[in-house]
Structure 1
């Protein structure tokens, strides 16, 4: 029997029993950063930035990716310690716009069973104050408050690296009775479970472009929230969080009978206008990391726009040219509200902002809006999921901080979890993203999973690989170690492209995994703006793993902090064609009994 020599510890994380990395381990700032001279600004975030050729853009993205890797001897640059006095406020609020409180639905009375959504979506519900309230309650709302000693903090339905929540959400909607008599743009305030009405929009906007019963959800990122703790690597984590939010919104929408699709023909400038983010002053990027009172660093970077529409809607197309022209008029609207301040002092990690500038997506008029049919997911173990509703599941999801090293799961339960992680659902070949919640993304799957199996009854401990795009199979075999077995494990369903590579043993969880993305070829073929989207795909996949773990009675945690190249060494990967972007561990959680759990609403009257 083949054995993998453990030249590197597995899993390849630095997380102090699955916690995020201790900031004392991160490489400190330079002396100049601790006592910075006046910053010299060299470029600004604006549509007038000179576009360089594709090779130069690709080089810039790969430079960021390589510079922000962790290794056994060197960490991506981050703060020396946590500046608690300037911890960013986790809640963005707009001062003075009308606030429309949403309803608090019952725990599960009207929520479908979680497992049923992978087979088919229920009949669509109309857009009302009640259904919009449920939608946000099940996707982006607070799920609990935690308290220990003198510390109190909130948790949300959508997970976030370090619980820092850089992702902000906006709804662009036709009129909804008891919320707005006209079409509107509103910012979602999770602490209050309310909508802040930023502006009213032209009456024909939705009827001209979208099916009846549709609305839009926009996401933006405040990079500073993550960079406060994680430094230069924060751009990665912000995009993980966008992916988790896409997954959370897709699942909540499915529970209402609604489908979700990225409107990825639109570009950065259109999203900025649509969400009213032009209100933020221009942020000028320094030539090196600087520290000081940099209020404009708290701006929101527009990430993506999701169309939410009734399941069963017939085929339709999006005219991105006309839609872009209509959105250009949003700059003339009467936008209400000034954003609150998040911190008094800041550190600017310049490479984050230069990279975000590099990967900004332009308007692409040739993008086709493709209505993919719903693909159900495979089922090999009907008894693996507990009888739980979607609402119960998403609101009880938690990130484990440690694994007990004892809990195991059955082999068929493991297979069932992975079946729900396949982009194409119950298909002979995996490629197009057709299954829930991956169908929200409009590109072929570019992310695979390398799995370290530890406590799965009926499976040998070892290294496995889940191929999520069959077109990459031959290339993956050539790119990885020549002595890998690539054999289907015992009892594996025929539609599950899982392969055993070899034997190894490690970790306290049932299994852990690394998400390996088809990186450089994707950026070359589709554009460098795919870089954040690869992280989004890992975040959506991570959201499925969170829900699946809790649905089978265990727990999980996402790990953005891992040793990048040692993971590649274990697989034998060289170059930038395949890169590990995100890690997860699934297993029995260790519960810290010192921490008290409190209801989400009403919660304590504090911001952090």
Structure 2
């Protein structure tokens, strides 16, 4: 343990300079493997060659967008404030239906109770849909200092840039719409923009009573404005945060959530009305100028929200796809607003977004697995906060105080809620809240830098979130790691001590020299089972791995606030030096997201204002 500790404090690892390398874009013409219904005329060899091209593109993107001690991923040299993207998408001339503004005193279950069981499901109504959005994707506050005013949201976002947009596809809701409809959620107004009416049989033929759909999309330009090529990663972190935020808010209403992941990119695009955007022609290199088409929305995922307790739903993806194909002929209302006057196109983002487009998989099963409760060490683990109180007070800490510590029991409690399979031995399937929204086995683990946990030695630890990977992880990492359960660790918690050392400086240097990684109680890196997952399941798993890290990150946010401290996601870290610390080589395991948990430093110069109605003069 001491050997790697000394290595990463050598002066050579403290050198930083801006990136000056212009990497050539990957220009291979990429096409997706055909969906199952149309593969008869495609040879096995051509499909394999196509898959290899797609994998090469994804790995090219991943490696090209790594930060290193001597070179950051390509991005703007400074921030073009005149062209900062508008964080609020609106569909001009679409009918606007305001939602209700619930108070904290309105019915909302205690946060920690939801990990044990879900409450009885409530019916869909204007009240419950209003609460659902208010607790998941709405504004949570406005902040002001000097001449600057900006909003915060319940769902966090890298740089507070909010690339994620949300849509509801729903049966009629009294005082919202008399017909079955598709609407865009406008968080600034806490309202629904009614985009179109849809045939009633779309719901009656495919989905149970009391259910509706939530679609999520990303505007890559919003993140790329600040973060350049690495923005594609951050957009997908944000999708994961949104999935978790939606899942938690739905749980508060007694609703379950599952991805409809048999559908492909084309179906999602039609369903959300995103073919209103002109086709974006990807340039062969980085381009700057007026590129209005770059403000399009990339469809990410579709979530079915349904009453908990339903044990089986038969989804026929072939027939569902045929029904969605008719959505292009519907009368869609509203034109998307312009977000910036000028843009920069980081072409590798859009080539990669083409490579990871998911085809329709008609043979995919829609499985509802039993709700698995998560561990609760004691009745006093958390402050008595309702779900609404907690999600709406969540903030991203800007600095940590470097003093606050937590007891190991609370540390273990946080990690128990980070387990995908809930409170049981043998972690693999995603059965607990909010992970159960995802339909793949967990592919993300956590390496933890423990700084200030009372009763637990400082050092490096590993949380194995899919125990089928345990033997492989031991072989892939450094041979001198201990892999021993710490004293007092719950039997059901697959946490292992790798080695003891003061890792404060190390964690800081690995997270782009940011003090926030060393000044908390602990920080962590989320290590994904990357290349084997892409090869075995498909290239579309690349963004889904980031979604899984975002879901896990959202839990860390809520857990930290629930015990009275704070947290922050860290997107800037030195990728391969993290792998070197662990002894990882190749692309089988890659660090995708970092996080820190600790006592926040509050900037008293910043004034907090109510989320609604909010300031009159704002951007």
- The 3-state SS of whatever aligns with 1:170 is strand
Whole-angstrom CA distance in 2 between matches of 1:276 and 1:249: 21
Cα-Cα RMSD? 2.3
- The 3-state SS of whatever aligns with 1:550 is helix
- The 3-state SS of whatever aligns with 1:286 is coil
Cα deviation, 1:536-584, whole Å, max 9, x if unaligned, reads 0000000000000000000000011100001000000000000000000
The corresponding residue for 1:601 is 612
Tell whether the 8 Å contact from 2:477 to 2:582 is kept in structure 1 after alignment: yes
The corresponding residue for 2:296 is 299
- The 3-state SS of whatever aligns with 1:285 is coil
Residue from 12, 16, 27 that aligns with 2:19: 27
TM-superposed deviation, 1:42: 9.4
Whole-angstrom CA distance in 1 between matches of 2:302 and 2:280: 22
Whole-angstrom CA distance in 2 between matches of 1:340 and 1:155: 21
Tell whether the 8 Å contact from 1:89 to 1:607 is kept in structure 2 after alignment: no
The corresponding residue for 1:563 is 574
Shift of the 572–46 alpha-carbon distance from structure 1 to 2, 3 Å rule, reads closer
Tell whether the 8 Å contact from 1:44 to 1:282 is kept in structure 2 after alignment: no
Residue from 584, 591, 615 that aligns with 1:580: 591
Shift of the 312–270 alpha-carbon distance from structure 1 to 2, 3 Å rule, reads same
The corresponding residue for 1:247 is 244
The corresponding residue for 1:310 is 307
TM-superposed deviation, 1:28: 5.8
Any residues of structure 2 matched to 1:537-556 within 5 Å, and which? 537-556=548-567
Tell whether the 8 Å contact from 2:119 to 2:254 is kept in structure 1 after alignment: yes
Cα deviation, 1:570-600, whole Å, max 9, x if unaligned, reads 0000000000000000000011111000000
TM-score (norm 1): 0.94
TM-superposed deviation, 1:55: 1.2
Tell whether the 8 Å contact from 2:311 to 2:370 is kept in structure 1 after alignment: no
Shift of the 472–331 alpha-carbon distance from structure 1 to 2, 3 Å rule, reads same
The corresponding residue for 2:104 is 107
The corresponding residue for 1:360 is 357
Shift of the 29–84 alpha-carbon distance from structure 1 to 2, 3 Å rule, reads farther
Residue from 407, 422, 439 that aligns with 1:442: 439
More displaced stretch, 314-323 vs 474-483: 314-323
Whole-angstrom CA distance in 2 between matches of 1:514 and 1:108: 37
- The 3-state SS of whatever aligns with 2:5 is coil
Tell me, yes or no, if structure 1 residue 181 matches structure 2 residue 175: no
The corresponding residue for 1:511 is 522
TM-superposed deviation, 1:378: 1.0
Cα deviation, 1:141-164, whole Å, max 9, x if unaligned, reads 000000000000000000000000
- The 3-state SS of whatever aligns with 1:380 is coil
The corresponding residue for 2:347 is 350
Tell me, yes or no, if structure 1 residue 388 matches structure 2 residue 399: no
Which one scores higher on RCO, CA 8 angstroms, separation ≥ 6?
Answer: 1
Residue from 306, 320, 335 that aligns with 1:338: 335
Tell whether the 8 Å contact from 2:289 to 2:344 is kept in structure 1 after alignment: yes
The corresponding residue for 2:61 is 64
Any residues of structure 2 matched to 1:152-171 within 5 Å, and which? 152-171=149-168
Tell me, yes or no, if structure 1 residue 459 matches structure 2 residue 456: yes
Q: How many residues align?
A: 591
Tell whether the 8 Å contact from 2:484 to 2:497 is kept in structure 1 after alignment: yes
Tell whether the 8 Å contact from 1:46 to 1:282 is kept in structure 2 after alignment: no
The corresponding residue for 1:329 is 326
Whole-angstrom CA distance in 2 between matches of 1:528 and 1:43: 16
Tell whether the 8 Å contact from 2:17 to 2:70 is kept in structure 1 after alignment: no
Tell whether the 8 Å contact from 2:30 to 2:53 is kept in structure 1 after alignment: no
Any residues of structure 2 matched to 1:197-208 within 5 Å, and which? 197-208=194-205
TM-superposed deviation, 1:5: 2.5
Shift of the 47–188 alpha-carbon distance from structure 1 to 2, 3 Å rule, reads farther
Whole-angstrom CA distance in 2 between matches of 1:419 and 1:56: 39
TM-superposed deviation, 1:26: 4.4
For structure 2, list consecutive stretches of 5 or more residues without a partner in the other structure.
36-45, 505-517
For structure 1, list consecutive stretches of 5 or more residues without a partner in the other structure.
15-23, 34-38
TM-superposed deviation, 1:607: 4.7
TM-superposed deviation, 1:203: 1.1
The corresponding residue for 1:36 is none
